[in-house]
Chains A and B, each alone.
Chain A
Amino acid sequence: MGMTARDVLRRTFGYDNFREGQGELIDAVLAGRDVCGIMPTGAGKSLCYQVPALLLPGVTLVVSPLISLMRDQVMALVSAGVSATFINSSLTDAQVAKAMANAREGKYKIIYIAPERLSTASMMSLAAALDISMVAVDEAHCISQWGQDFRPQYMDIPAFIGGLKRRPVVGAFTATATPRVRADILRALELRNPLDVVTGFDRPNLYFAVHSPKNKYAALAAYVQSHNHVGIVYCATRKEVDSVAEQLVADGYNVAAYHAGLPDATRTRAQDDFLHDRVQIIVATNAFGMGIDKSNVRFVIHYSLPQNVEAYYQEAGRAGRDGLPSDCILFYARRDIFTSVFLINQSDSEEEKRRNRLLLDKMIQYCDTQSCLRQYLLAYFGEQRGEDCDDCGNCAPSEALEMMDAANADASPKRKHKARKPREERAERIRSRKERAPRLAFSDPLFESLKAVRMEIATREKVPAFVVFSDATLVDMCQKHPQSEEAFLQVSGVGQVKLERYGAAFLEVLRGTQPANPATESQAETSALTPDQLLQSIAIANDSIQISLVAENINAVLLRHDMKKPAAWL
């Protein structure tokens, strides 16, 4: 019997189960039906075309707008044992010729291609020689003029497909699409009777907040000082990027700046340093990030007002792609509106100005609302839900927000919060939402050891760390604590090829440590624990550390044992 989609998912990608929407979309593609998948970032859109690509007889072409995305996806596929390549302007003519020759010889199952290549004679000639089973259009919202990332070259896709000797299955995938953009995608790509799957836009692991500090930099410094994590700071202008990055560097942080005014080489280095964890924070304009597949971004701070809600949700959504808890905080000052209006007015087209002002109004409403921020965002994308999330800056201010208030002393206006529900009710709902996200294990010393092994391999193989394993896979490794190759294969994100390539190095570390969180531990055992027993489980750093990190280490253990009261330090 041949391989099934589930076999491919397990053996190649190392996952046991499909996530919401994936199974339906993959089944439809394998049955020869066009599909349109709207799924939030981190929900596994790529697998919806990568899994069928390995089961369909011919080649799958993936149209993707950004070079960095193609490179990362191909690196991840190759590291999982899949034959894949990309063809875009980052390759020399000789490299393109070689990739095309290999493609003609049938050496690839998946080829990523930039949209502007589709209309070239060489690509048409290659396409005529290939058996193309599927064309997957990634970031499909780029075809809509209502989307903030409109790419005229995407309009060439239907003509390219029409010119093929046999029409392949066509799939459109995106994370960000309002009902209007969605309609544009279906129409402009000429999808035939597509299976249209919208799994919902909620990202339960993201904490959204709007903060209005008078001194934005003091608030930012207070945040990054207490969160020793990887993050992105988005600014509205190049000048602001340079200024914020300089201040962070002066304060001793490991920071890179990224904007379109920097030389190509500087931008490429900044992006690579960030992807490879050589810098902790990247300060950037919106030129940075589309197609960035870095999974362990723990915070995205918008230092200024984004132009519209779609751009905001997409940029903020770069946090927590691995499903672990992450912060999305927007610094809002009413004076930022003038900068935004100024930028909008640079357009020559009155129609475009009108459209962008309408979109900006929605963004301002998000900043001004006293209601649940998650509800607002979901409603914007056409998803109605009747209840507040009780886990955003308006429903429940976090310790981080209070700390930023403190950093602004008297300068920060008091945030207003709507009437809150009883504590137990809030706690129960937050708990049930967060159960969908893996538990945090950043403070586990084993996690640090596994990260060190990952970094060593990534450096040796010259790939970003997340190509080896994501943070979520390392967290699962800490929790399952496998001691054999068979058990290692049960870790989420470990497939056969990754077991063979990396298993020995990680197992060596795992075999040398005690499990921090035995999976067999029952709730009854947990409730019987004494303070001193819990104390034994708390990670103690050899170096002197700040109190916020002490609190994180305590919380890691409390979370592990389902204790309801996290340790606040402030």
Chain B
Amino acid sequence: MALNKLLLVNGYLDDASGDKLPTAQGTAAGITTQRRNARGRDYDQCIFDAQAQRLCAKLFLHEMFQQDA
């Protein structure tokens, strides 16, 4: 499963607004957003601190091993 989807399924991100944004649980886990602009359109880019990077890796690896089992 793709990382973004894993984070959605586990409640760290929410895409109800159309963009993927951190939930309260995601923010607590170290996911924040940065305001960016591309071609005149503002958007929020999720970024991951060290703790959130570890979380992503952990979710991914555990899911990968579960599938292989």
> Are A545 and B48 within 8 A (Cβ)?
yes
Nearest opposing residue in chain B for A548, CB measure: B3
- For the complex, what is the distance from the CA of A227 to the CA of B16, rounded to whole Å? 27
- Assuming A218-B39, A544-B32, A567-B3, is B50 touching A553 (CB within 8 A)? no
> Are B61 and A568 within 8 A (Cβ)?
no
Interface: A359 (CB within 8 A):
no
> Are A547 and B46 within 8 A (Cβ)?
yes
Residue among B46, B48, B49, B62 facing the most chain A CB atoms (10 A cut-off): B48
Nearest opposing residue in chain A for B41, CB measure: A218
B35-69 interface (Cβ within 8 A of A): 37-39, 45-50, 52-54, 56-58, 60-62, 64-65
- Assuming A534-B61, A540-B50, A544-B32, is B2 touching A568 (CB within 8 A)? yes
What B residues does A423 contact at CB under 8 A? none
- Assuming A551-B3, A570-B2, is B50 touching A535 (CB within 8 A)? no
- For the complex, what is the distance from the CA of A563 to the CA of B52, rounded to whole Å? 23
What B residues does A541 contact at CB under 8 A? 50, 53
Nearest opposing residue in chain A for B67, CB measure: A565
From residue B69, how far is it (CB to closest CB) to chain A in Å?
11
> Are A546 and B62 within 8 A (Cβ)?
no
Interface: A569 (CB within 8 A):
yes
Choose one: A215, A251, A544, A568; the contact of B3 (CB below 8 Å).
A568
Report the count of interface residues on B (CB-CB < 8 A). Answer: 25
> Are B48 and A544 within 8 A (Cβ)?
yes
Interface: A349 (CB within 8 A):
no
A534-566 interface (Cβ within 8 A of B): 534-535, 538, 540-542, 544-547, 550-551, 553-554, 563, 565
Interface: B4 (CB within 8 A):
yes
Nearest opposing residue in chain A for B54, CB measure: A540
Interface: A4 (CB within 8 A):
no
- Assuming A218-B39, A547-B56, A553-B53, is B2 touching A569 (CB within 8 A)? yes
> Are A531 and B54 within 8 A (Cβ)?
no
Choose one: A217, A222, A531, A570; the contact of B65 (CB below 8 Å).
A531
- For the complex, what is the distance from the CA of A565 to the CA of B32, rounded to whole Å? 28
What A residues does B65 contact at CB under 8 A? 530-531
Total A-B pairs, Cβ < 8 A: 74
Interface: A337 (CB within 8 A):
no
- Assuming A540-B53, A550-B57, A568-B3, is B47 touching A545 (CB within 8 A)? yes
Choose one: A215, A545, A567; the contact of B60 (CB below 8 Å).
A567
From residue A28, how far is it (CB to closest CB) to chain B in Å?
51
What B residues does A530 contact at CB under 8 A? 65
> Are B57 and A554 within 8 A (Cβ)?
yes
> Are B56 and A565 within 8 A (Cβ)?
no
Interface: A384 (CB within 8 A):
no
From residue B39, how far is it (CB to closest CB) to chain A in Å?
6
> Are A538 and B57 within 8 A (Cβ)?
yes
> Are A221 and B38 within 8 A (Cβ)?
yes
B1-31 interface (Cβ within 8 A of A): 2-4, 30
Choose one: A215, A222, A531, A570; the contact of B62 (CB below 8 Å).
A531
A194-233 interface (Cβ within 8 A of B): 215, 217-218, 221-222, 225
From residue B46, how far is it (CB to closest CB) to chain A in Å?
6
> Are B58 and A535 within 8 A (Cβ)?
yes
Residue among A538, A542, A545, A567 facing the most chain B CB atoms (10 A cut-off): A567
- Assuming A544-B32, A568-B2, is B38 touching A218 (CB within 8 A)? yes
> Are A547 and B39 within 8 A (Cβ)?
no
> Are B50 and A251 within 8 A (Cβ)?
no
What B residues does A567 contact at CB under 8 A? 2-3, 60
- For the complex, what is the distance from the CA of A534 to the CA of B65, rounded to whole Å? 11
What B residues does A215 contact at CB under 8 A? 39
- Assuming A544-B49, A550-B3, A567-B3, is B58 touching A217 (CB within 8 A)? no
What B residues does A122 contact at CB under 8 A? none
- For the complex, what is the distance from the CA of A217 to the CA of B38, rounded to whole Å? 9
Interface: A17 (CB within 8 A):
no
- For the complex, what is the distance from the CA of A315 to the CA of B3, rounded to whole Å? 34
Interface: A347 (CB within 8 A):
no
Nearest opposing residue in chain A for B46, CB measure: A547
- For the complex, what is the distance from the CA of A570 to the CA of B7, rounded to whole Å? 11
Nearest opposing residue in chain A for B68, CB measure: A565
> Are A531 and B58 within 8 A (Cβ)?
yes
- For the complex, what is the distance from the CA of A490 to the CA of B37, rounded to whole Å? 47
Nearest opposing residue in chain A for B51, CB measure: A540
What B residues does A531 contact at CB under 8 A? 58, 61-62, 64-65
> Are B47 and A565 within 8 A (Cβ)?
no
Residue among A217, A222, A554, A563 facing the most chain B CB atoms (10 A cut-off): A554
What B residues does A554 contact at CB under 8 A? 56-57, 60-61
- For the complex, what is the distance from the CA of A251 to the CA of B36, rounded to whole Å? 8
Interface: A247 (CB within 8 A):
yes
From residue A38, how far is it (CB to closest CB) to chain B in Å?
42
- For the complex, what is the distance from the CA of A222 to the CA of B4, rounded to whole Å? 16
- Residue numbers of A with Cβ under 8 A of B are 215, 217-218, 221-222, 225, 247, 251, 530-531, 534-535, 538, 540-542, 544-547, 550-551, 553-554, 563, 565, 567-570
17 new A-B contacts, CB < 8 A, other than A215-B39, A553-B53, A554-B60, are A221-B39, A531-B58, A535-B61, A538-B54, A540-B50, A541-B53, A544-B47, A546-B45, A546-B48, A547-B56, A551-B3, A553-B57, A567-B60, A568-B2, A569-B2, A569-B4, A570-B2
Nearest 8 pairs between A and B by C-beta?
Answer: A531-B61, A544-B47, A569-B3, A568-B2, A544-B49, A221-B38, A538-B57, A550-B56
20 contacts between A and B (CB under 8 A): A217-B39, A221-B38, A221-B39, A222-B38, A247-B39, A251-B37, A251-B38, A531-B61, A535-B57, A535-B58, A535-B61, A538-B53, A544-B48, A546-B47, A553-B57, A554-B61, A567-B2, A568-B2, A569-B3, A570-B2
